[in-house]
A and B are shown apart, each in its own frame.
Chain A
Amino acid sequence: MDELQAIRNFRGDVPAWGEDARHAARSALLSHIAAPSARFRRARRGFGHASSRRHPRSWPRLAVVTAVLLLAGLTAASALAIYDFVVGEPAPTPIAEQLAEEGRADPIIPFFAGIPDVVAKSAHSVAAIKTSGGRAILWAVTAEPGPVCYFVEFETLTRRTGQPRGEAICGTRLSSAVPVAYNVSRANVGRRQVVTVVGWVHDNVASVLLRAPDGTEREVALSERFFIAEVRVEKAGDGNSHTLIAKDAAGATLQRIELHLRSSNLPVVPKSMGTKRTVIETRDSRGRPMSLTLVPVEGGRTCLRFETANGMRVSCPPETRVEEGIGVHPTLLGSLVYFSGSVGPEVAKLELHYEDGSMRELPLVERFVLYDVPRERFAKGKRPTLLLARTADGAEVDRRTIAKRLYFGIRREGDVSP
């Protein structure tokens, strides 16, 4: 043995590092890669773009099983792989705050009344997928008791704006009778519109399949009972249907959800043309700015852009203002509940009546309305219950009941819930 061999043997019996040490180092690297570093340091909260395809109603932000068939023409699934390394990462503060705030907003919905706030500390990453718009991370809160909440972050948007952009969504816990809750959402990432289906499943679900219109199936990975997948939207019209299939461990189908809407129904934000004009500049009940801007777009139409501290919503109706009566609707955006829309030319006064018998006249600007409901009005017995329109001489011309089960889609004739 020469001296080099002797040196090779020197301390040669040092054992390899243990699994724990290796795992710790690997996790440290993964944190370093996925971690909220400088990009999350800006404290200002922000939400992504959320446009509406329905006028004047806005998209409800609550994800429940009954309020999901919003998008059409969903065809090929892609990029279903889950990155396991991000699982368990604590959510960046801005995202945790948004999740917590969304959870706190839920008592306005009777289903969640009495359920404690979401525990922001428990917000963590559940999964991440590659999408056509870059990596999307699914952050979630599953702490019991409380609703299940999640937030989909597109890293590309975060990098571009310095803050996580997206929206926190909460929904109910599931039962064996209704084993899947999901929501289809869109994000404009650069010039791409990324459509994702996100959801969670009950314990009795062992697998979730996504079946494309051509019959091909892909299993969507489950992580902490959540799933997320991008679905590619084709321009082709009718006949495009995408199916979510939940199966139990034995392979029996527990739930089948058809997404058979037409691609032409997909909300597309038109290209802005001409000069924007802000019609209403006001503040929400917490003193934060909110505004309504008219944005001329291609095709000679005008879109309404509502900007709030909790995000932006764009509505592009066929007509900018309703022709008559009340075209005002409540919207839940984060913890904000605000009324927006327009009224007919005959309406001079718009009254918002509350359960306790009190009334507030909503300001009208060029027949438009933008009004945030104060938080104290979220409590049972104090909630908004009726919109009433009057002419200049006080004659009632229209009235709309505000649904008791706001945001649940259970509406009666005349209700104005989203």
Chain B
Amino acid sequence: MTSLPSDADAIASSLVDPTMFVAVFDRHADAINRYLRRRVGNEVADELTSETFAQAFEHRQSYDRNRPDARPWLYAIAHNLLRHHYRDEERGLRVYARRGVDPMLPAFDSRLDSVGSVLADTELADALAELTRQERDVLLLIAWAELDYKEVAEALGIPVGTVRSRLNRARNRARERLERSGQYEKQRI
């Protein structure tokens, strides 16, 4: 049985044979794209995904080969690109909070089938919009990208302690909103 090369191996090999870099795309593109879609919508996400891997390829020489998992590095690049879309993201969250329909994802309004869910989501959308960008990044990298604290710290270039504090603030904000909507208490019961 053969084991797949790590991301670090694939990236190192791609310095000799650039085509090896495709393995990194094949492994992580779906997750990166899904994360970006949830943040900024399909169209922008698809563009950013493409750009993320193009930039990653261009900068592969600087990749730290001691890190076998390339996800933090890829999310760092994605976040760097995402910065230009923060306003759109926040605008979308606010619209969602007001109208109950996610403007980023117009095709998914079937979610309106549950009033409770919409209430919770509008509150969450509002909460996410109110977070600072730095807090939102930490929260969503944990919740959506499923990175651990250390990986988030790597992706955002901040200390792990900062990750913890930002996450804590973000969670508190979200909890308050959910409690306000009644969903939180209801679900805890």
Contacts and interface: CB of A to CB of B under 8 A. Distances in A.
B40 to A, nearest CB: 11
Interface string A55-82: 0000000000000000000000000000
Contact of A25 (B38, B50, B144): B50
A14 B34 contact: yes
A85 B22 contact: yes
A15 B45 CA distance: 12
A4 interface: yes
A28 interface: yes
A11 to B, nearest CB: 4
Given A16-B30, A22-B29, A25-B46, A32 B124 contact: no
Interface string A68-101: 0000000000000001010000000000000000
B19 A33 contact: yes
A6 B124 contact: yes
Interface of A is mostly: helix
A159 B77 CA distance: 27
Given A26-B29, A29-B57, A8 B22 contact: no
Given A3-B174, A6-B174, A11-B105, A17 B46 contact: yes
Nearest to A33: B18
A24 B46 contact: yes
Given A7-B139, A14-B37, A21-B46, A29 B54 contact: yes
Contacts of A33: 18-19, 21-22, 57
B30 A25 contact: no
Q: Which of B21, B30, B49 has the most CB of A within 10 A?
A: B49
B150 interface: no
A140 B170 CA distance: 57
A13 interface: yes
A130 interface: yes
B42 interface: yes
Contact of A29 (B53, B105, B184): B53
Contact of B54 (A7, A28, A83): A28
Interface in B148-177: 171, 174-175
A2 B34 CA distance: 22
Contacts of A14: 34, 37-38, 105, 108
A30 interface: yes
A331 B58 CA distance: 43
B143 A17 contact: no
A1 B30 CA distance: 27
B189 to A, nearest CB: 11
B171 A3 contact: yes
A26 B19 CA distance: 12
A11 B102 contact: yes
B53 to A, nearest CB: 5
Interface in A1-51: 1-4, 6-8, 10-17, 21-22, 24-26, 28-30, 32-34
B33 A7 contact: no
Contacts of A6: 120, 124, 174, 178, 183-184, 187
A17 B139 contact: no
A1 B29 CA distance: 29
17 contacts: A1-B187, A1-B188, A3-B178, A6-B120, A6-B124, A6-B183, A7-B144, A10-B124, A11-B102, A11-B105, A14-B105, A16-B30, A26-B22, A28-B54, A29-B25, A85-B19, A135-B17
Interface of A: 1-4, 6-8, 10-17, 21-22, 24-26, 28-30, 32-34, 83, 85, 130, 135
Q: Which 6 A-B pairs have the closest CB atoms?
A: A3-B174, A3-B175, A11-B38, A25-B50, A7-B143, A1-B187
